[in-house]
Amino acid sequence: MLKKIGILGGGQLGRMLQEVAQKMNLPVWCMDKTKDSPAALFRDFFVQGDILNYDDVINFSADKDIITVEIEHVNLDALKELESQGKEVHPNPHALGIIKNKNKQKEFYSDLGIPVPIYWNFSDKNEALEIFSQWRDKVPFIYKSAEMGYDGKGVRTIRLQQDVEDLDNVAGSFEEKINIEIEVAVMIARSTNGKYVIYPPVGMYFDEGNHILSEVHYPIQLSSDWIAQMNDIAVKVTESLNICGLCAFEFFITTQGQVILNEIAPRPHNSMHISMNNAVCSQFEQHIRAISGLPLGSPVMDKKGIMYNIIGKDTDFGPTNWIGWENVLGMENVFIHLYGKSVIKPARKMGHINIVGEGFTQLKEKLHIIKDQFKNNNNG
């Protein structure tokens, strides 16, 4: 009998996991607090409930065999209980407990001897102020809140004491500001039987203003030594934490040529959305295969590609009204993936467009046209 899978979180990642599961005819349900969340597209396989609420998670999971997540911020006590009941929970709650907290992540990697930025963890604002006064000659620092920060929401540059005064009174860390040559992501998928595959590295390009991922490029020029270092780190960390399913690794390559681990995410990741149209097996199918103990798919990416995130601009508020479809759909090897969000807001991820196949000059020319023509019309 096929194992029933429950996904906690019904945002775009949950929706895209559902999409492949439906194609594979696998029994997969999603739970999310919001009735019209992206994964609610699959109404018969959608349950409304809060992934941070103990009872909701337990009730949703009662008739499932495998539980997985699309986001780290879930009720960990419930996951621990489900594990003790003999259900398969991927990623396991111990790993999630470390990963959902950036302070703990960095301590964990340092203990494994993996290079991370120099950092100072603190548990509240007073400690942050003490650290600042002791190390102020090292500014600028990058501040990161320990929990609930993603898509750049918990990241800030610190130069002055006032910047520290302005922080919320929560646990966090300061990091040295790295001189970054390029930001690279590596995705590993580890099956419940211990086998793994690693996708080739991709380059990540961020929006300067809000730190949100803007574009992903494949391939990128990297030395084989860097790739080997990144792959070794991916294997070491996933095995140490016994992670099953996908795990994305975000690295900085410094201007001095050093590989530094920034953070990881044990789930599908925005950096690998390009795999939907340029890889033999997309990250979403791979995750379902890995957590189900099915044979892993090939991570080979046989086409060049650019992924472009469609993100709400500062002027975008209200119902969505996309214009320029015809021009984009008329282009060969261009794929629009919208997440079904009916309301657009600044910095909200609404969808992405994959452009694959040719040389980078043509890919960039197409992207230029897409950026110019495909947009939300606020006046419509």
The rounded distance, in Å, linking the Cα atoms of 274 and 283 is 9
Q: Which of residues 23-42 bind ligand ADP (CB under 6 A)?
A: none
Residue (41 or 265) nearer to ligand ADP, CB: 265
Residue 262 is a binding residue for ligand ADP (CB under 6 A) = yes
Residue (106 or 366) nearer to ligand ADP, CB: 106
Least distance from ligand ADP to the Cβ atom of residue 166, Å: 18
Residue (58 or 155) nearer to ligand ADP, CB: 155
- The three-point CA angle 322-325-326 to 5° equals 150
The rounded distance, in Å, linking the Cα atoms of 181 and 184 is 10
Residue 177 is a binding residue for ligand ADP (CB under 6 A) = yes
Q: Which of 175, 215, 285, 316 binds ligand ADP (CB under 6 A)?
A: 175
Residue (61 or 271) nearer to ligand ADP, CB: 271
146-151 contacts at long range (C-beta below 8 A, 24 or more positions apart): 146/101, 146/102, 146/103, 146/104, 146/121, 146/170, 146/171, 146/172, 146/173, 147/73, 147/100, 147/101, 147/102, 147/171, 148/73, 149/102, 150/71, 151/210, 151/211, 151/212, 151/213, 151/347, 151/349
Q: Which of residues 278-337 bind ligand ADP (CB under 6 A)?
A: none
Q: Which of residues 226-245 bind ligand ADP (CB under 6 A)?
A: none
Residue (196 or 251) nearer to ligand ADP, CB: 251
Q: By CB under 6 A, which span of 85-93, 174-182, 345-353, 372-380 interacts with ligand ADP? A: 174-182
Residue (155 or 331) nearer to ligand ADP, CB: 155
Q: How far apart are the two ends of the chain, measured CA to CA in Å?
A: 50
Q: Which of 64, 100, 106, 144 binds ligand ADP (CB under 6 A)?
A: 144
Q: Is 275 helix (H, G, I), strand (E, B) or coil?
A: helix
Q: Which residues neighbour 241 within 8 Å (Cβ) at sequence distance 6 or greater?
A: 91, 92, 94, 95, 98, 99, 266
Q: By CB under 6 A, which span of 176-184, 218-226, 287-295, 368-376 interacts with ligand ADP? A: 176-184
Ramachandran assignment for 6, one of left (phi > 0), alpha (psi -120 to 50 degrees), beta (any other): beta
Cβ atoms of residues 306 and 359 within 8 Å = no
- Per-residue mark of binding to ligand ADP, 182-211 (x: CB under 6 A): -x----------------------x----x
How many residues of this chain interact with ligand ADP, rule: CB under 6 A?
20
Tokens of residue 189, six digits: 């998928």
The rounded distance, in Å, linking the Cα atoms of 163 and 131 is 13
Q: By CB under 6 A, which span of 170-178, 231-239, 287-295, 324-332 interacts with ligand ADP? A: 170-178
Q: Which of 178, 202, 259, 291 binds ligand ADP (CB under 6 A)?
A: 178
Cite the beta strand spans of 325-377 per DSSP E: 334-338, 343-344, 349-356, 375-376
Residue (150 or 322) nearer to ligand ADP, CB: 150
Give the DSSP letter string of 251-264: EEEETTS-EEEEEE
Q: By CB under 6 A, which span of 8-16, 171-179, 228-236, 343-351 interacts with ligand ADP? A: 171-179
* Dihedral sign for Cα atoms in the order 39, 155, 273, 88: negative
Among 218, 205, 212, 177, CA closest to 300: 218
Q: By CB under 6 A, which span of 19-27, 175-183, 217-225, 332-340 interacts with ligand ADP? A: 175-183
Q: Which of residues 80-139 bind ligand ADP (CB under 6 A)?
A: 117
Q: By CB under 6 A, which span of 152-160, 184-192, 284-292, 350-358 interacts with ligand ADP? A: 152-160
Q: Which of 36, 127, 147, 263 binds ligand ADP (CB under 6 A)?
A: 263
Helices 12-23 and 283-292: crossing angle, nearest 10°?
70
Question: Residues in the site for ligand ADP, rule: CB under 6 A?
Answer: 117, 142, 144, 149-155, 175, 177-178, 180, 183, 206, 211, 250, 262-263
